[in-house]
Amino acid sequence: SNEYKSYLSSSMSDSLFEFFHHEMICYFESGTPIHLLPSRVPCNAPLYTRNEYKSYLSSMSDSLFEFFHHEMICYFEEAGSRDQVYAEMERVGQRVGFCLVEKSTMAESRFREDVEVVKYVCKDMWLLLFKKQADNLKTNHNGVYVIQDNRFRFLSRIGQVPEYKDRCAMYLAFTCGVIKGALTNLGMPCTVSCEVGVIPTCKFQIVVQRPS
């Protein structure tokens, strides 16, 4: 158990880019209809100044996953609207979350309550994905949970300007999907929505779908 947890906190986090890359291949291979464009078109409203981007490139060895995530958004944005980008990124995240939680919980004891499952996501999985735990978890004890991250990794480089904030949802869609996929795999089918406060603070609201 301890050896497996060590693997998750070191080797698996170091190969997250590799895992994401593999899941992207599986995602495209599954036949999801996506426009494959021959040319590379720059993203609208660049997120980085020249100096910020140089600094970003210099730290790519530590944030290749973040870089890949950003480029996936750019790729989908070439083919459709922001709503379509959100939907595609959410679907990718759902696949990644479903598979990732299957691997990461192999050494875990069975979760007894829904709140334990959500705590696992906002602590262990958050640490695996973002190198930190989520900052807060709230629940109404009736199937609604809110995860708050005060410095969300995918928003940390977005500036405080209106056109950037309008793009934030695209940078949260993948994580919404990860949460949804992970919880679904652990027996908690749900819907996940996101909300951005003062960048880079954001919240993810989980609504568990109860049997009718």
b/e code 183-206 from CB counts within 10 Å (16+ = b): bbbbebebebebebeebbebbbbb
pLDDT computed for residue 201 by the predictor:
94
Looking at per-residue pLDDT, the higher value among 43 and 203 belongs to 203
49 vs 116, residue with greater confidence: 116
pLDDT recorded at residue 156: 84
Q: Which of 142, 137, 113 is nearest to 125 (CA)?
A: 137
- Give the model confidence (pLDDT) of 88-98 as tens digits: 999 999 999 99
Whole-number Å distance between alpha carbons of 2 and 25: 31
Q: Percentage of residues in the chain with pLDDT exceeding 70?
A: 69
Question: Higher model confidence: residue 150 or residue 56?
Answer: 150
Region for residue 141 given its phi and psi (left: phi exceeds 0; alpha: psi -120 to 50; beta: otherwise): left
Per-residue pLDDT tens digits for 83-141 = 999 999 999 999 999 988 988 888 777 888 999 999 999 999 999 888 899 999 999 99
User: How much of the chain exceeds pLDDT 90, in percent?
Assistant: 43
What's the CA gap between 182 and 58, in Å, rounded? 32
